[in-house]
Chain A
Amino acid sequence: MEAREELLSGWGNYPVERCYTVRPATLAALHAIVTRGTQPNYIARGLGRAYGDAALNRQHGIIVQTRLDRFLSFDECSGILECEAGVSFATIIQYLLPRGWFLPTTPGTKHVTVGGAIAADVHGKNHHLTGSLGNFLLDFTLLTASGALLTCSPQENVDVFAATLGGMGLTGIIISARLQLVRVESAYVQVVYRKTKNLDETLASFATDHEYRYSVAWVDCLTSASSLGRGVVMLGNEARVQDLPEPLARHPLALPTKRELSMPFRLPGIVLNPWSAKAFNALYYSCHRQGLAIVDYETFFYPLDHVLHWNRIYGWRGFVQYQAFFPPETAHSGLIAVLEKVSHEQQASFLAVLKRSGPASQGLLSFLSPGYTLALDFPYTGPDLQRLLGELDAVLLKHGGRLYLAKDATTTAEAFAAMYPRLPEFLAIKTRLDPSNRFVSSQARRLDIVEAL
């Protein structure tokens, strides 16, 4: 199969790199590429929702998995779904939510593939209770550099399972997986909205979140002093049929039909500046309601999916998303330090999302364990931003925190190694499975997971 030369980027549109893509449609074709393909190395890519360079491979090969997108089996009684790695969460919802089954956890976009979700060990608004996707993964099949197919699960090939879950695609190509879906009565969520005045109040709101399956807070990161960390906390539970008002209760599992908006072009950089971001944040805060509401799953889980190509609001320079984790002991001071720095620098962040995290998964490079996580995004401004993010990394390190590889585009190898103490275990497994580094990404090169090839 011939490769296509393409300029590619992650969802943040930074960095942009020249890569050689192939899109196999069969396992045989994929196998041939991995074992005999013309590129020295490859990385798997799904729908390109990783923000930075995790699914880029500068000047080398990329295996796009979106043609391997078939359901293989679904047990309507147990909710166990087996599918190829290129199936998207959107497809799973489209076909299985109307039958009363939902994803056990989901990131803020449904346009991710199962393979990508495993490689990033994605988490969602229920992490505080249930942890990340890895906890719902029964097993997966991995195609390794030697061409072998390994079934990996918490019981079988346990070390490869742990290295691949959250391993950013560096152990091999995930071919298919079996996931445990969860039963739902409706496609709606009953949400309590609480406005808070500062970070203390925001964190206090999470104290009761064990009563809610889903919890998340949007925070205004451009205020200062007393109102630093003010925001809107959203606590939700899956709506039962009896919770729904009459017209909705008649078809509780019907998917909402919404017209999708699209950002037709990239905004000029000037539109997004500290003042406009501040105005947006203030407006969002003051317009938000308090109290109880029933909202459909799209609005609750995927508010931004509604606007196609929303990443274009950041213009041609793109943006970097920075998601930080702090353990409970240091979370308060760590979050204050990050928010103060961001607020002080007046770096525009349209979106700041705070949430409490829960049980860790088995992934050696998995992101979350009990504590708090804050996601921020910054328009890419070159050296200025690099410096700020370097300072944020230092704050993280000082507080025993770490950042999320699925969003990272800028961190250094040293910072990464310090944040992920199980890296040596990961490297040992990677080296055993893939001694000649057949699987490499730009991120892996930047983080010295593989020597610069």
Chain B
Amino acid sequence: MSKNIVVVGATSGIARALCHELGQDGNRLLLAGRTREELDKCAADLQVRYHADVWVELFEALDFATHAAFFERCLARFDGELDGFVLCHGYMTNQETTEQDWDEAQRTIDVNFTSTVSLLMLAANYFELRKKGYIVALSSVAGDRGRMSNYTYGAAKAGLSAYLQGLRNRLHRAGVQVLTVKPGLVDTPMTAGLLDPQSPLVATPEKIARDINQAIHKRKDTLYSPWFWRFIMGLIRVLPERVSKRLKL
């Protein structure tokens, strides 16, 4: 059954792979992002490969005042019938930068957390009334525990994870799925130069995308992808503070 799905941050690494999964399944997609040219290329690719119905819409995460109008345009594009709302936009710079440069710290928090809350407020109210549909948001394993190597980004994602958890509790009553995705290390443009793509711990965006698509179908609440991150983060979460503060995690 084909669905109407909005993908925000559609030109990002994981989103591009996820759009292939969603397009292959015959869904109608609206790709939202900052660069018209890139969105058009991604849309053309999905149209050629899967004969998918794809539209594009410009979206600026940090321009909060435009979010309501953006959401209205998404609804209008699908004649008010939206089935899925997928948030893939994110921002990461290295930790040291966010310790010295407030603009960068604020950008990290606002793109990853504030803008997501702003969008989810609109989406949640829509789906709650409609009593069906799903919300997917990309959080991160980095949000499971503050670590010295990445805590600004981690804190924003932790906030997002907590927000999604609460939202899930609320929307459960309306039969709406809220899926929190916690990818581990993924070889995407966002992590270029920071990760070794050949490492066995580093997953491809295609792998994450397949996992997300499955998790949507299985109506899961939280997805760790690849699966072993659930255990890794389980261990890191239970480390006593007096130990973890001595480690260079």
Contact = CB atoms under 8 A, between A and B. Distances in A.
Interface of A: 1-4, 22-29, 67, 70-74, 84, 95
A27 B44 contact: no
Nearest to B41: A70
A2 B42 CA distance: 24
Nearest to B44: A72
Contact of A84 (B35, B41, B192, B196): B41
Contact of B192 (A22, A27, A95): A22
Contact of B48 (A2, A24, A29, A74): A74
A174 B59 CA distance: 29
User: Lowest 10 A-B CB distances belong to which pairs?
Assistant: A2-B193, A70-B45, A71-B48, A25-B189, A74-B48, A71-B45, A70-B41, A72-B44, A95-B49, A26-B38
29 contacts: A1-B193, A2-B194, A3-B193, A4-B192, A4-B193, A4-B196, A4-B197, A22-B192, A23-B192, A25-B11, A25-B13, A25-B189, A26-B189, A27-B38, A29-B189, A67-B189, A70-B41, A70-B42, A70-B44, A70-B45, A71-B44, A71-B45, A71-B48, A72-B41, A72-B44, A72-B45, A73-B48, A95-B48, A95-B49
A84 B45 CA distance: 10
Q: In terms of DSSP, what is the predominant structure of the interface of chain B?
A: helix
Contacts of A70: 41-42, 44-45
Contacts, number: 47
A46 B108 CA distance: 33
Interface of B: 11, 13, 16, 35, 37-38, 41-42, 44-45, 48-49, 189, 192-194, 196-197
B11 A26 contact: yes
Contacts of B13: 25
A28 B189 CA distance: 13
A39 to B, nearest CB: 13
Contacts of B38: 26-28
Given A1-B189, A71-B45, 6 more contacts: A3-B193, A25-B189, A26-B35, A70-B45, A71-B49, A74-B48
Contacts of A28: 35, 38
Contacts of A24: 189
